Structure 1
Amino acid sequence: MESKQNGTSADNMSFLEVLKHKDILRTEIIAGITGFFAISYIIIVNPMILKDAGIPADLSVFATIFSSIIGCLIMGFYANSPVILTPGMGVNAFFTYTVVVNMGLSWQTAVAISAVSGVIYMAIAFTKMNDILSKSIPQSLKHGITAGIGLFLVEIGLEKAGLIVAGKTSLIVLGDLTKPAALLAIFGLAISLILYLRRVKGSFFIGIILTTIVGVIFHIRDADTPNVILSKLTNYHQITFKGDFSHILSTPFILATFSMTMILVFESMGLVQGLLPDQRKFKKTFQGSSVTTFLSSFLGTSPTVAAAESASGIESGGRTGWMAVTAAVMFGLSLIFIPLLAYVPQAAIAPVIIITGALMMESIGGIKIGDFTEWFPAFLIIVLIPLTNSISTGLAFGFVCYPILKLAGGQRRQLTLPVYILGVLFLLDLIFSALL
């Protein structure tokens, strides 16, 4: 969906030029608010995960918010990009359950690993390696990444809606459609679809508001109500600048750093390329993401990545950095109004995530279905991202499989040196992840 007002495209506008077009600015603000609500759950979920690593949840809430604010401001003012940066789901699980719980390292060491990974990430983002890696990714895999992330979002949305749940005899079964939350989500999905198909401006945001109002009327709220006391901000310094680099030359530190770097670099690259409507903004967006990843290690949280839920704002018309800046403002306001977020149930957010994921899956059309050497690696990415609940795992299998099938199919000339290198690196990542 291209954001245009009176024949003017927001894609080609600078950050300041948007101020001259009130309609476009309004669209960007609505997109930013929509994207924020879609990812707002991270404010509570990320601290709950990091709590298992030993970081106090009531303090890491602030780290989650501050890192998101900084990331979104960098996206807005530096990259002019409609991408929201927050501590990433998946990488926070790697941080907590692989590095700390399984490897037995302290959260302070995990923070140090994040910092070193961030330095390597920046070294790639601000050098020619950025262009080499981004240009070497085959188009079929790029489309597969976008579609895979889309299917991942659909899965997340259906889970939030309670329409699918983990089964006893199968991975997924239909949820209980008699539950109020599931019925509310179905109502929200119907309303959001109607508004979207009618091309109502701000359709996703309006859908969230209307569904929330119905939820309030029928007393449908999520069980986990945020409990953040702003006065605890005075204790926030207890988790900042706490990286422990004393084990930097140890084997566990090096292996964990390699795996985290692979996750950050290629998950971010895949996400950014899959999300951006205007690929000319890729370089600065990727660079901004690397800087925020590095800074997050000093703020007391797991690394930040581009939020897949940014797609909700982009589908609402977000095309410039104003969407990201608006999200930054919303994160800032959440410090004061976090209790109000409890009134926005997951069932109200889920429909937007489901529709957004479905729209991203349209990228399947760009894959050469008739060429099995192109289709199958992309297919692995598409299905393994949601099935393994890991974007990096899906990428790894796709990138390892691609050169193997090309060689087996006698299409060696279509392979470049970077594709071979990426295949080997992702294979090593899979091996190290298994060992960790």
Structure 2
Amino acid sequence: MNKFSNQEEVANQLPLLDALRNKQILKREIIAGITGFFAISYIIIVNPLILKDAGIPTNLSVFATIIASAIGCFIMGFWANAPVILTPGMGVNAFFTYTVVVGMGFTWQEAIAISMVASVIYALVAFTKLATILADGIPETLKAGITAGIGLFLVEIGLEKAQLIKKGTSSLLAVGNLAQPATLLALFGLLLTLVLFLRNVTGGFFIGILVTSILGVIFNIKDQSAPTVTLSDFGQYRKILFAGDFSHIASIPVILAIFSLTMILVFESMGLLEGILPNPKKFRKAFQASSVTSFLSGILGTSPTVAAAESASGIESGGRTGLMAIVAGIMFTLSLFFIPLLAYVPQAAIAPVIIITGALMMAALARINLNDFAEWFPAFLIVVLIPFTTSISTGLAFGFVTYPLLQIATGKAKQISIPTYVLGGLFLVDLVLSALL
């Protein structure tokens, strides 16, 4: 991440009310919140499309996604004073839909119950000393690997949204069609946003999104996947509220699903927050805010929320306080009235911000001692497996299991903390159970 200026360091420590009184900081936080919102706004469309395969009506899931995100951002902003956006997590929603519902045969109502119980366990960790113990138990090398891995994941997401890469026929990935209007628009947006960023233009990311979106409208480049939803559908939203089915909560398959989802929520959230928070002192409350919102998301009828990696876009735009999250929450709330307009912000306009943010996060690789193979190889696994598997929890699992094994192999077993051993063991169990599920 960029080095903080003196003003940013001050903002990092400011209480929420004091930040409100500082016009310069307030302006930067507003821009950061708007930038972060647009970087993650695709979740309003993508999350309902994924949950549709679980059986949740798309037009109602849109409202659940927006409301859960807005509430999560407000809790994060007011409670933790942290520049983090909470939304239903990509990866988590896939686990909810394709593992719990499609793979294990549960109804979406039972999956909601599973996510709520997992979130309660997550909250028990977040509001006790376990959170600090587990966070302190993560070696610095793995923390850097988590940041870089999430960064590379964002780069992959951004390149896909820009249609610069696609699924290959004879290889894992292939170069996209550079003659496509959407790809050309994304390349323009990337160049423009890079220039604005390198010249330290205030709100450069937001300006890049705005200008690229306007060009998209002029040349009729917009996303066709946006669900047809109007505010009039809101009257039916009550159909998915409080819909959790706890009737089989004590069965072995449900318990296994709860365990796996708990591991994903706790350690994916921990990894994300460790990777993007400018001020580590805000981790504890941010972790707590994330756990509470994760539980509320089940009541609201959607898959669990997590800290959005795209929050880093807002942070790179200057977000340092909870004001950024609050602004993003306001934007989510306003989006209820402008859902059809989101189709006019194409993926090509969002992609450049995500790519640049991911590249900046990968600078964390400089903190890893590359001269010690046993030290950096576990971090390497995290970095490559997060984007290759599109699962933050999978990357974390392999890194955390490998780290203590290699330290033992090199005679450094006594230098490893007990939490590191415990984490490695928990992730090993998670990998085994995930394979069985």
Aligned length: 436
Q: Contact between 2:8 and 2:320, CA under 8 Å: does it hold in 1?
A: no
Q: For the residues of structure 2 that align with 1:158 and 1:7, how far apart are their CA atoms? A: 30
Structure 1 window deviating more from structure 2 (410-419 vs 263-272): it is 410-419
Alignment-derived partner of residue 285 in structure 1: 286
Q: Deviations over 1:181-221 (max 9, x none)?
A: 00000000000000000000000000011111111111111
Q: Contact between 1:3 and 1:319, CA under 8 Å: does it hold in 2?
A: no
Q: Contact between 2:189 and 2:348, CA under 8 Å: does it hold in 1?
A: yes
Q: For the residues of structure 1 that align with 2:6 and 2:218, how far apart are their CA atoms? A: 36
Q: Deviations over 1:88-147 (max 9, x none)?
A: 000100000100011001111101111110110000000010110000000000000000
**Residues 182 and 124 from structure 1, CA distance in 2 versus in 1: closer, same or farther, beyond 3 angstroms?**
same
Alignment-derived partner of residue 240 in structure 2: 239
Alignment-derived partner of residue 135 in structure 1: 136
Q: For the residues of structure 1 that align with 2:407 and 2:6, how far apart are their CA atoms? A: 45
Q: Contact between 1:83 and 1:310, CA under 8 Å: does it hold in 2?
A: yes
Q: For the residues of structure 2 that align with 1:435 and 1:6, how far apart are their CA atoms? A: 51
Q: For the residues of structure 2 that align with 1:246 and 1:19, how far apart are their CA atoms? A: 47
Cα offset, 1:405, TM superposition: 0.2
**Residues 3 and 168 from structure 1, CA distance in 2 versus in 1: closer, same or farther, beyond 3 angstroms?**
same
Mapping of residues 23-422 of structure 1, within 5 Å: 23-422=24-423
Report the 3-state secondary structure (helix = DSSP H, G, I; strand = E; otherwise coil) of the residue aligned with 1:130: helix
- The residue type paired with residue 324 of structure 1 is A
Q: For structure 2, which runs of at least 5 residues remain unmatched after alignment?
A: none
Cα offset, 1:226, TM superposition: 3.6
Q: For the residues of structure 2 that align with 1:256 and 1:331, how far apart are their CA atoms? A: 30
Q: Contact between 2:86 and 2:290, CA under 8 Å: does it hold in 1?
A: yes
Cα offset, 1:12, TM superposition: 1.0
1:430 and 2:437 matched: no
Q: For structure 1, which runs of at least 5 residues remain unmatched after alignment?
A: none
Q: Deviations over 1:9-45 (max 9, x none)?
A: 2101000001221111010000000000000000011
Cα offset, 1:230, TM superposition: 0.7
- The residue type paired with residue 260 of structure 1 is L
- The residue type paired with residue 177 of structure 2 is D
Report the 3-state secondary structure (helix = DSSP H, G, I; strand = E; otherwise coil) of the residue aligned with 1:173: strand
Cα offset, 1:5, TM superposition: 7.5
Structure 1 window deviating more from structure 2 (214-223 vs 424-433): it is 214-223
Q: For the residues of structure 2 that align with 1:412 and 1:266, how far apart are their CA atoms? A: 23
Report the 3-state secondary structure (helix = DSSP H, G, I; strand = E; otherwise coil) of the residue aligned with 1:177: coil
Q: Deviations over 1:309-345 (max 9, x none)?
A: 0000000000000000000000001101111111111
**Residues 8 and 401 from structure 1, CA distance in 2 versus in 1: closer, same or farther, beyond 3 angstroms?**
closer
**Residues 416 and 179 from structure 1, CA distance in 2 versus in 1: closer, same or farther, beyond 3 angstroms?**
same
Structure 1 window deviating more from structure 2 (171-180 vs 4-13): it is 4-13
Cα offset, 1:225, TM superposition: 3.2
Q: Deviations over 1:341-368 (max 9, x none)?
A: 1111100000000000000000000011
- The residue type paired with residue 77 of structure 1 is F
Q: Contact between 1:146 and 1:271, CA under 8 Å: does it hold in 2?
A: yes
Q: Let me know the Cα RMSD of the aligned residues.
A: 1.1
Q: Contact between 1:2 and 1:317, CA under 8 Å: does it hold in 2?
A: no
Structure 1 window deviating more from structure 2 (410-419 vs 66-75): it is 410-419
- The residue type paired with residue 248 of structure 1 is I
Q: Contact between 1:3 and 1:9, CA under 8 Å: does it hold in 2?
A: no
Q: For the residues of structure 2 that align with 1:225 and 1:250, how far apart are their CA atoms? A: 38
Q: Contact between 2:74 and 2:325, CA under 8 Å: does it hold in 1?
A: yes
Q: For the residues of structure 2 that align with 1:177 and 1:186, how far apart are their CA atoms? A: 9
Q: For the residues of structure 2 that align with 1:170 and 1:288, how far apart are their CA atoms? A: 41
Report the 3-state secondary structure (helix = DSSP H, G, I; strand = E; otherwise coil) of the residue aligned with 2:16: coil
Q: For the residues of structure 2 that align with 1:5 and 1:273, how far apart are their CA atoms? A: 22
Q: For the residues of structure 2 that align with 1:245 and 1:238, how far apart are their CA atoms? A: 17
Structure 1 window deviating more from structure 2 (245-254 vs 381-390): it is 245-254
Q: Contact between 2:30 and 2:323, CA under 8 Å: does it hold in 1?
A: yes
Q: Contact between 2:213 and 2:346, CA under 8 Å: does it hold in 1?
A: yes
Report the 3-state secondary structure (helix = DSSP H, G, I; strand = E; otherwise coil) of the residue aligned with 2:337: helix
Q: For the residues of structure 1 that align with 2:51 and 2:77, how far apart are their CA atoms? A: 27
Cα offset, 1:402, TM superposition: 0.4
